[in-house]
Structure 1
């Protein structure tokens, strides 16, 4: 079958002597000019987040069945990629490594007579911040999809009935992240009630938010940049540089502000859209309502490809 899902493991050398691990998901026969989505996972997750093992939960399979390729990447400092010290994996370094990996993967595809059409960055949580940085500094993509990523600030909701988190006076950067992490109900924030019980249980068993056990989708490595993303306004200079189409996606329970507030940060783009999905928590691909988000992404890909 031409739509047969093929998984091709790749390793790309980048500056500093490091390597980036990626999986290319593609049909057996790729149509000329087929879209390519670059999947960028969040902190504590690996490229397998886009290819969860339970039937019906692989976004990669969904995309491939529609003729869209997916290049799922482990960031520098995460998954099966090189794991330098935290002070090396800044936003600048991780974005640069990601851009180099994408360009080298595209060169490999063209060498195999596969020429993608539009290339769209799709980042979830921390991956959304990295997608914005890659676009702002390197113009890596023709469009970006930002999922569960607070651009103004990381807005961690409080579980009803629990006291709000306390941030020590004068805390900044990593101190804020540590204070928040110690007080957040991570299972409630990451997973909607009753969604894929076995899959969610396996995710929680890896540890949360810092993983003590890796899996096909969970990473024990977390880039150092993840501990400095909570400072309000840190990303605004970057979102203001993004002048390609942007789709913002979020769950009903997520770490973002409202769709309107998130979209308003992309002041240079003339093509902005958003979706907020009910009964979905921060880790969107585990949710029972994930297809609503995936179909909206499908429509965005078509829009960008034929604009």
Structure 2
């Protein structure tokens, strides 16, 4: 009986994932799949993405997910009225471009040795330029980058090195992290994606990784996360190139690269994030926005006007935490107050 129930749940969830690009569509918002051409070490590749626009948005938020996630992280297929950040942003009047990182969905899968965080930041900068120039839909006057976890390191590198960005949201990323849980995740939680039946026909080289069964539990607060959310997380798992990790760790976690970001920054983290939070001096005290800001402020310049949001009870992944609507509202309020009120890049 239990096995039959599990099969029913999995079948229903799988069916719900088919029209992912339309999950956030509303009567006033149109979503469509698109591909953005980018140059990677001299070769043209493409990043697939879902562009959602309520019709008159001047600001577009570019959403870059973390390791082993694709664009569905931002437009989650379970109860989108609660868990889709794309939906909440577009209903608030913003456009969104949810990216599928290399190796995911219809994005190219360059040989992993050709990729690292710096290369991906250069590709993300090309996406920003395409949005400003009207080569992805219409031209947008303001572009905000939103990242999660490893995706946040790529977002931070892009904002530190390139112009054309009006604001940055970094989620699931702090400069102090729990080394024990992080090492456990990267040594036992990931395996070559080519060995996973879900990705067996993708032609991915061994450098592309995905999570092993059960590893995604580290992304959540098991006491509060809903069972169907956990099940959908396993079904929507993605891949990432392991070659992104070394320079991301050095450039963001060890060097003061984030101090070069000169646009408004919102830092968001879950109070119960097992990877980032813990007892100083290793992990960060995430008991309040004040304690997180105290730890993080030295890594940012005054120009960043650093704002911090802590989601009570949440783990590493904020979009699928039960209180995610609070986080979504914090991003919307910040974007209106610190990005749109400034009028964009000058």
| Interval containing the TM-score (normalised by the shorter chain) | 0.7 to 0.9
TM-score (norm 2): 0.71
Tell me which residue corresponds to 1:173: none
Tell me which residue corresponds to 2:146: 122
How many residue pairs were aligned?
Answer: 275
In the alignment, structure 1 residue 24 sits paired with structure 2 residue 46? no
1:10-66: CA deviation from partner (whole Å, max 9, x where unpaired): 111111121111111111x224xx221110100000112110112221111111111
Query: What is the aligned-residue RMSD (CA, Å)?
Result: 2.9
Following TM superposition, where does structure 1 have runs of at least 4 consecutive aligned residues deviating by more than 6 angstroms?
A: 179-182
Most deviating of 261-270 and 121-130: 261-270
* Aligned positions of 1:21-170 closer than 5 A: 21-27=48-54, 29-31=55-57, 34-55=58-79, 56=81, 57-108=83-134, 114-150=138-174, 152-155=175-178
1:62 and 1:90, CA in 2 relative to 1: closer, same or farther beyond 3 A? same
In the alignment, structure 1 residue 239 sits paired with structure 2 residue 269? no
1:270 and 1:83, CA in 2 relative to 1: closer, same or farther beyond 3 A? closer
1:78 and 1:266, CA in 2 relative to 1: closer, same or farther beyond 3 A? farther
Q: Tell me, in whole angstroms, the C-alpha distance in 2 between the residues paired with 1:292 and 1:23.
A: 24
Q: Which runs of 5+ in 1 are unaligned?
A: 159-163, 167-175, 207-214
Q: Tell me, in whole angstroms, the C-alpha distance in 1 between the residues paired with 2:224 and 2:160.
A: 38
In the alignment, structure 1 residue 11 sits paired with structure 2 residue 30? no
Tell me which residue corresponds to 1:178: 187
TM-score (norm 1): 0.79
Contact 1:9-1:23 at 8 Å conserved across structures: yes
1:21 and 1:223, CA in 2 relative to 1: closer, same or farther beyond 3 A? farther
Q: Tell me, in whole angstroms, the C-alpha distance in 2 between the residues paired with 1:46 and 1:69.
A: 18
Contact 2:267-2:309 at 8 Å conserved across structures: yes
Most deviating of 251-260 and 6-15: 251-260
